[in-house]
Structure 1
Amino acid sequence: MAQKFIGLVAGKFKQIAAIVTSAGAADAGKIIAAGTDGKLHTSLLPTGIGANSVSATASEAIAAGKLVNLWVDAGAMKLRLADNSNGREAWGYLKEGVSADAAATAYRLNTVMPNQTGLTVGGDYWLGTAGGVISAAPDATDDANSGKLNQYIGKATSATEIATVEVAPVEL
């Protein structure tokens, strides 16, 4: 249900609904309301303020909650699964799954990454394979890890979320 307020229109009181999204200049001067999630829609925010994200085409199917790597394919920015075993560092993550060759929005690290399962609250997590996370850093003294990436991702704030940090990976 939209929030409503009383306004004076053509000399008469009228009940007017607040907007939850903006179409731009046509909505100038209108009262705004939080959406059903209790937050303001990004269309209501000034340019440059809002989710720190990138829209790009997924080069493979990627599930929600997976870490992603940005790369350039024939001059076009694309998304693929981040992976510590093949040098694909994590740039961000997906909140919603996407099919191969479909547009997706990737959210930067340094935010809270949802859609995880089985995390230990307060536990540290590193980039794993296929966009996943692991609970122990790859052992730099183990020759089997030679060439892998050691990238700290962040700390679990619940069983389903990680407060991520943006840390450059180290190639072992």
Structure 2
Amino acid sequence: MATQGFMALVGGKEKQIFGAATSSGAADAGKIPALDSSGKLDQSMMPAGIGANTKVVPAFEAIGVGKFVNFFSDAGTLKVRLADNSNNRPAEGFVLAAVASAANATVYPLDVANTGVSGLTLASEYWLGTAGGVIDTPLDSTDPANVNKVNQLLGKATSATELRTDDYGYQIL
């Protein structure tokens, strides 16, 4: 996306100067910032501790947009995989961009809105499903088929494409 520019005198000559949409650090000191394609400042422009609370971690497997993920140790290396209520993988965050296996995933924590989901019913609650997905009904603790499964409330839909998550904890049935 082209950024807006302004005219300035540089070395006695009029020159058009453009705002910086990203920063490479000290080399960009004194430059005027420009908003990115979403109308916001790029994360590289923000000081440490300001901005999205995310963790960048290698993906153990391909992970789709809006999927909930689980952190684990793969031979001493922190990685993420799809959260799943059927195999003891509680959700510890989610991704907003698809990521290939072995690529870096930007993981957002629970307690923020997951805007990568779709098909939700407004004001309905959602629980962890399988393969990083969600279901609209909690697991029945009296059903023997649910023994050792993860029952985890993830949050409430604030639109058809936004799930406001919270860290409610989870139960192993």
Identify whether the pair has TM-score above 0.5, normalized to the shorter chain.
yes
C-alpha separation between the residues in 2 aligned to 1:51 and 1:148?
31
Q: Does 1:84 align with 2:85?
A: yes
Residue identity opposite 2:4 in structure 1: Q
Alignment-derived partner of residue 147 in structure 2 = 146
Alignment-derived partner of residue 123 in structure 2 = 122
Alignment-derived partner of residue 52 in structure 1 = 53
Q: Does 1:94 align with 2:57?
A: no
The alignment-based identity, stated in percent, is: 52
Helix, strand or coil at the partner of 2:145? helix
Shift of 1:9: 3.9
C-alpha separation between the residues in 2 aligned to 1:100 and 1:151?
25
C-alpha separation between the residues in 1 aligned to 2:19 and 2:81?
39
Cα RMSD, aligned residues only: 1.7
* 1:7-65 deviation per Cα after TM superposition (whole angstroms, max 9, x unaligned): 45456664421111001001112111211110110000001222221222211222111
Larger deviation: 1-10 or 76-85? 1-10
C-alpha separation between the residues in 1 aligned to 2:117 and 2:66?
6
Runs of 4+ in 1 over 3 A off after TM superposition: 5-15
Alignment-derived partner of residue 134 in structure 1 = 135
Shift of 1:90: 0.5
C-alpha separation between the residues in 2 aligned to 1:42 and 1:102?
20
Alignment-derived partner of residue 157 in structure 2 = 156
C-alpha separation between the residues in 1 aligned to 2:124 and 2:12?
61
C-alpha separation between the residues in 1 aligned to 2:37 and 2:56?
24
Alignment-derived partner of residue 67 in structure 1 = 68
Alignment: residue pair count: 172
C-alpha separation between the residues in 1 aligned to 2:116 and 2:151?
22
Helix, strand or coil at the partner of 2:117? coil
Residue ranges of structure 1 left out of the alignment (5+ in a row)? none
C-alpha separation between the residues in 2 aligned to 1:74 and 1:153?
29
